[in-house]
Amino acid sequence: MKRFLMSLMVGATLLFAGCDKGENGGNGGNGGNGGSHLQITINEKMITSTSAVIYVTPEDYTTPYWFGVAPKSEVEAAGGAALMISKILGNNPLAGAYKGTQGGTIMGLMPSTDYLAMAVCVDKYGMTADIECVEFRTLDPTPGEDVKVSPIAAMLDYYGDSYKNGCNNYYLQLGGRKNGTDVEVLIIDLLASGTATTAAGTYSIENTLAAGTAVAGSMMNGYQYGSYYALFDKDGNTKRFSLITSGTVSVAVDGDTYTIDCDVEDINGTKITASYEGVVEYSDKTNTTASKKASIHTFNMTRASFQR
């Protein structure tokens, strides 16, 4: 996903919570303890069930810093913000570090969930100051206006048993135009039986990873898995992103012609439909390494992206 900067329109700062103000990574060499040197600001009025508008402002615009968003429960399960961030930073803390005021819309969040927005100054050795945290909660899910995708192209990537033995994984991608210039994609992560030679079948969207189902979209340990819908403008900026969590998908195959019908709902209960008949661009990805499979099937949300 691409990054972007929005105009500086920040709202009220939320209550600071979730991280001990003295919590520190301790292995940096420039700042040490004694303040975070960063301010996180969240526009309360623009928090939705799946997104939030967040800005980070440093005291010194030349100081690099890391910023990320994660469910509060995952931070606690990791042993706290310092341990989680240290693991994420790894051996190259400056990789992708931000400078100056940065901000934008964080998409792909889960509804009715407590989150922590975290930021900390870094150098090549690690964290150099206290971690700044802001806790916020996403809204309850609310269904939106129905979405009808009109695909003009379809792709089907085959990954064999990448999820589990006994299931053949087909990654179905339907792409179309919306409003003349926008591009929309509907991704359905299919699990056919282990003996299947095509993706033909009727699949229910579930999180069971059973043969004959499609993988429901979800967030786990900062990663997005499974099926989703996304809308981009002509410059590739993300306008909408939502996880697909229920519904059915049917795939029929007659020679080179595929007939695909999708009747699904996203995590907010918004109905999304799509129908396609024609040739599908097929690609066998079974020689893809495990690490590459993971990068294709997931979208990293642990390190927050100011999305576009």
What is the rounded distance in angstroms from the CA atom of residue 308 to the CA atom of residue 303? 15
Q: Given this model, what pLDDT does residue 234 score?
A: 87
Task: Rounding to the nearest 10 degrees, give the CA dihedral for residues 94, 100, 106, 111.
Answer: 90
Closest CA to 36 of 117, 132, 134: 132
- Residues 92-127: tens digit of each pLDDT: 999 989 999 998 898 888 999 999 999 999 999 999
Q: Given this model, what pLDDT does residue 222 score?
A: 61
Look up residue 191 and give its two tokens. 């699990």
- pLDDT by residue for the chain (308 residues), tens only, comes to 222 222 222 222 333 334 544 455 444 444 444 567 999 999 999 999 999 999 999 999 999 999 999 999 999 999 999 999 999 899 999 998 999 999 889 888 899 999 999 999 999 999 999 999 999 999 999 999 999 999 999 999 999 998 888 899 999 999 999 988 999 999 999 999 988 889 999 999 999 999 999 999 987 766 778 999 999 988 888 889 999 999 999 999 999 999 999 999 999 999 999 999 999 999 999 876 543 444 344 333 333 333 32
What is the rounded distance in angstroms from the CA atom of residue 67 to the CA atom of residue 82? 12
Strands (E), 124-222: 126-127, 132-137, 147-149, 151-158, 167-178, 182-193, 201-206, 213-215, 218-220
Q: Given this model, what pLDDT does residue 307 score?
A: 37
Facing residues of 274 across strands?
A: 149, 262
Facing residues of 292 across strands?
A: none
Q: CA neighbours within 13 Å on the CB side: how many for 107? A: 20
In order of their start, the domains of the chain are: 38-137 (2.60.40.10), 147-300 (no CATH)
